[in-house]
Amino acid sequence: MSIIPEAPEEKGLIHFYRKDGAWQYVKESEYESKKAELPLITFATKQVIDDFANKEWPDLENLAKEMEVAAAHAQTDSDSKQEIPAGEPAYYVSAEFDDCKKTAYHCEKAVSNGLLRVEMNPTIFYRISKPVSAASLAKLPVLKTADFFSLIKEDKDTKC
């Protein structure tokens, strides 16, 4: 099941954002042809989000107004440690899993090609189309995984 109401069977990386109050969706199969049209910040996920329409989402349009565009991405890819080219979008995760805050920064190719360490848990990315300052990244709200996904709680001590 997908987050796209008109395409519940859709799988893969789905980008989504609000435009004039209405949700917009970009399927994985449409991404290459539509990525240049995407706003500065969108969400992206590969997982089904429980009760999607009734969730409280950060206002990306207002957050975008606060972003300081930079000459280069503020971080390297969290897994490969490679620089992310300035002309490419970056995918940023600011999430809380089991009371542990996690952040990760990835290039477009890494997110679309395979499983990243951060994706061991259900993940919602912030896709940022242009480089922004580290201070701007810090303004993006932490997304609590349990607020968006059904999780199985294990009865054990977990450490960040």
Segment 119-132, tens digit of pLDDT: 777 899 999 999 99
Domain-located, residue 55: yes
Question: Average pLDDT in the 102-120 region?
Answer: 83
Mean pLDDT of 4-15: 90
Q: How many domains does the chain have?
A: 1
- Residue 3 within a domain: no
Predicted model pTM:
0.91
Domain that holds residue 69: 14-148
Domain-embedded: residue 2: no
Question: What HEC string does 86-151 produce?
Answer: CCCCEEEEEEEECCEEEEEEEEHHHHHHCCCHHHHCCCEEEEECCCECHHHHHCCCCEEHHHHCCC
| Residue-wise pLDDT tens digits, 54-92 | 999 999 999 999 999 999 998 999 988 999 999 999 999
